[in-house]
Structure 1
Amino acid sequence: MTPAPRRTRLRPTDLLRLGMIGPRTRRMRSALSALGISLGIAAVIAVTGISSSNQAHLLGRLDRLGSNLITVAPGNGADQKPAPLPPTAEKMLADIAPVQQVTATGATKAQVYRNDLVPTQQTGSLTVLAARPNLLDVLHATVRSGRWLDTASENLPVTVLGDRAAQRLGVTAPGERVWLGGQWFVVSGILAPNELAPELGTAALVGWPEATAHLGADGTAATVYLRSHPERVPDVQAVAAATANPAGPSTVAVSRPSDLYTARSEAKNALTGLVLALAAVALLVGGVGIANTMVVSVMERRGEIGLRRALGARGGQIAAQFLLEAVLMGLTGGIGGLALGALTVYGYALAQGWPATIPLATTAAAPLVSVLVAAAAGIYPALRAAKASPTDALRSA
């Protein structure tokens, strides 16, 4: 009895060699097909990367301006009078996980005058505040002239004036003296205007130890400034009052997220729909190009298909060969498009002075998506090749 013939099986290496026949023998056509999907992937990478780089640049500027700044201050108590923050408020707020920076100013009992001859009632609506050394860092404020308080000067009769305070006192340069708290203080610097904390413009700022020792400050924070993680601003705002004063959260005034935070959220969500639409159109065009190439390839290679079928190749093996050709073109186009898109993004970002940013998910998905699109485009031609009759294929060759 004649034994049944064994079913032929293709090793992965043999299948790979067969899949390379089309791209190797029809290089120009395969290259142009891969170029179609490559341009689609490059367009997606470029638009996504450029918009992400622009977004990162914009969000960085908004964060520097104060979109993640929260202010905690005394609110009105049951008697409609401001209730001071507890002495532990500043430390407790610093322990909130998303909080990145904390600083504070403290109230004093002192007044500041141009000299000791000015009547005490002519305060000029100026205040004297104790300040932490990191106040400028948290508020992203700058000194217009002179120097800010440091670890040495915060223990000395030295002050830094806000821009409007210097104007009202007639102080034009550091080194001049003002009458503050019944003694002479040397002006070490003058602040530039700051929109995040306009109250500092009418203040004379002194070191915290000096204010506590000689100006009647009790060491309690009058206003606490928090820098939160940009994504966690609402969360920090929600717990700030209860954290600052657990016994009376209703007596704590917490600033709402600023308009800058709203602008940050809108900027982060911008262009998402546009990018997705562009990706769909670009990949559709690339997929159609590969499908067209594969259909033509199947028609031109009917003789090869018929000969292989006559020699025992199964329909599934024929389909796998042509499907692999499509996948290889998609993979080549995806990698090429990723490289081309990345070069475009980095070049454009460098020219604009932006941080070059390409979303990791887009980078990882680009070759995978191109392979999936190419596989979907190659299914019909592969099935058409698999269904070809050996005799019909050889006859029409």
Structure 2
Amino acid sequence: MTAPALPRLHPARMRPRDVLRVGGVGLRTRPVRAFLSALGIAIGIAAMIAVVGISSSSRAELDRTLDALGTNLLTVTPGRTMFGGDAQLPVESVAMISRIAPVEQVSAIGKVDGAKVYRSDRIPAAQTNGLAVYAARLDLLDTVGARLRAGTWLNAATERYPAAVIGADTAARLGIGAVGPDTQIMVDGRRFTVVGVLERVPLAPELDASVLVGWPAAADRLAFDGHPTTVYTRSVESAVTAVQGVLAATANPEAPNEVDVSRPSDALQAKQAANQAFTGLLLGLGAVALLVGGVGVANTMVISVLERRAEIGLRRSLGATRGQIRLQFLAESLLLSALGGIGGVLLGIVVTSGYAAYQGWPTVVPAWAMLGGLGATLVIGGLAGLYPAVRASRLSPTEALATP
């Protein structure tokens, strides 16, 4: 009489909660090693998030600036003559440009050649600070989108007297923080009272290191010849290209080839493109850091397999399958990478927010960067833990238990 066949036993299946609990055992038992490995991943992710976030915040600030200042500003400046000399705009160029139908605003500045600026008459003549003196029209402020940091702008009364408005760089170089009746500077040997200080002007950076005086005062007191050196125009947005095409011939009909026409916002957008190229380079460095972190995770997992051979053998003896052992170590690697990824994303957001706040920018961290960073950590963690997991699953119970 034959004995009855024993029922075939199937290994118990591991639920997702069991996989997470078993995978976290190695992290809890070796917290310092797990922290250092996760830190390597976190540094790489934080670098990538910070680079993308800071770049996006910078672009958002630039877009906000362009939206506030407008992209319809065109500038007209004298170019070079056919013999290589400095050209000159006609005195009537501002009036002629104002007759172009789509042009909504026109203003100008004229450089006072040879005029030097000093804080007082006690300053050595060699210490000019590289500042320029310009005659300015009253509508300049609105046309270029400039704002005052302190004081007031020139008006119909002060434009005829020795009053001046200085740029942001000029104020810094001359050590002027406030304005008032006693705040005076020397312009071409004459005392001028500083009545206002400008903020930086993104679309007209030449004004940052300048001293602006009224057009009549420049002619009467500084021997200004009346020729504008830069004409600023605001046009209907839809007609900017058309206006750009006729400005040279309108400003100087006799020699339009001696006139340069530019769009300042194009320079800012070119700067934005250069920043994007630099961002690509920094992202490459962040990817290298992430790869180094992945190598650290792989190293940790390999060492973990070597140190836990007895545990692996015991689990195999108790019925754990190779797939369950493989899943355990793969889950541990993914948990380690996920911790590093989450920490890296949070650190990258903190760095971006801090830098943006310091610069006065809006904080922008794209969602795709955060999700992509976490996805990259899981991919790196999976690849880094795959070989150690397979190696652990191939250990036989007898071989693993025999390891001292």
- Whole-angstrom CA distance in 1 between matches of 2:340 and 2:143: 48
Kept after mapping to 2: 8 A contact 1:64/1:140: no
Percent same amino acid at aligned positions? 42
Kept after mapping to 2: 8 A contact 1:37/1:287: yes
- Whole-angstrom CA distance in 2 between matches of 1:280 and 1:296: 24
Which residue is equivalent to 2:223? Answer: none
Which residue is equivalent to 1:22? Answer: 26
SS in 1 for 2:13: coil
Kept after mapping to 1: 8 A contact 2:54/2:364: yes
TM-score, with normalisation over the residues of structure 2? 0.56
Pick aligned residue for 2:270 from 257, 263, 276: 263
Which residue is equivalent to 2:315? Answer: 308
Stretches of structure 2 lacking an aligned partner (at least 5 in a row): 77-95, 107-136, 165-195, 208-213, 217-232, 250-260
User: Is residue 362 of structure 1 aligned with residue 365 of structure 2?
Assistant: no
Question: Structure 1 residue 6: deviation in Å?
Answer: 2.9
User: Is residue 63 of structure 1 aligned with residue 66 of structure 2?
Assistant: yes
Cα deviation code 1:33-82 (max 9, x no counterpart): 1122122222333344344445555x269638967235599xxxxxxx99
- Closer/same/farther in 2, CA of residues 5 and 271 from structure 1, 3 Å limit: same
Which residue is equivalent to 2:254? Answer: none
Pick aligned residue for 2:279 from 272, 276, 295: 272
Kept after mapping to 1: 8 A contact 2:352/2:363: yes
Question: Structure 1 residue 30: deviation in Å?
Answer: 1.3
Pick aligned residue for 1:225 from 235, 259, 276: 235
- Whole-angstrom CA distance in 2 between matches of 1:367 and 1:61: 30
- Whole-angstrom CA distance in 2 between matches of 1:387 and 1:162: 92
Which residue is equivalent to 2:145? Answer: 140
Amino acid across the alignment from 1:68: T
Pick aligned residue for 2:297 from 260, 268, 290: 290
- Whole-angstrom CA distance in 2 between matches of 1:142 and 1:22: 61
Kept after mapping to 1: 8 A contact 2:75/2:262: no
Kept after mapping to 2: 8 A contact 1:72/1:240: no
- Whole-angstrom CA distance in 2 between matches of 1:261 and 1:300: 58
Question: Structure 1 residue 225: deviation in Å?
Answer: 2.3
- Closer/same/farther in 2, CA of residues 390 and 250 from structure 1, 3 Å limit: same
Kept after mapping to 2: 8 A contact 1:62/1:264: no
Question: Structure 1 residue 395: deviation in Å?
Answer: 1.9
Which residue is equivalent to 2:48? Answer: 44
User: Is residue 320 of structure 1 aligned with residue 331 of structure 2?
Assistant: no
Cα deviation code 1:84-129 (max 9, x no counterpart): 777xx69xxxxxxxxxxxx557xxxxxxxxxxxxxxxxxxxxxx99
Stretches of structure 1 lacking an aligned partner (at least 5 in a row): 74-80, 91-102, 106-127, 149-159, 174-189, 204-222, 228-235
- Closer/same/farther in 2, CA of residues 297 and 104 from structure 1, 3 Å limit: same
Kept after mapping to 2: 8 A contact 1:34/1:332: yes
Question: Structure 1 residue 279: deviation in Å?
Answer: 1.4
- Closer/same/farther in 2, CA of residues 38 and 253 from structure 1, 3 Å limit: same
Q: How does 1:1-397 map to 2 (within 5 A)?
A: 1-54=5-58, 56-57=60-61, 59=62, 63=66, 68-70=71-73, 103-104=104-105, 139-141=144-146, 166=159, 225-226=235-236, 241=242, 257-258=263-264, 259-397=266-404
Which residue is equivalent to 2:87? Answer: none
Cα deviation code 1:317-344 (max 9, x no counterpart): 1111101101111111111122223223
TM-score, with normalisation over the residues of structure 1? 0.57
Question: Structure 1 residue 257: deviation in Å?
Answer: 3.9
Question: Structure 1 residue 292: deviation in Å?
Answer: 0.6
- Whole-angstrom CA distance in 2 between matches of 1:142 and 1:393: 76
Kept after mapping to 1: 8 A contact 2:55/2:276: no
Kept after mapping to 2: 8 A contact 1:70/1:226: no
Kept after mapping to 1: 8 A contact 2:11/2:320: no
Question: Structure 1 residue 24: deviation in Å?
Answer: 1.4
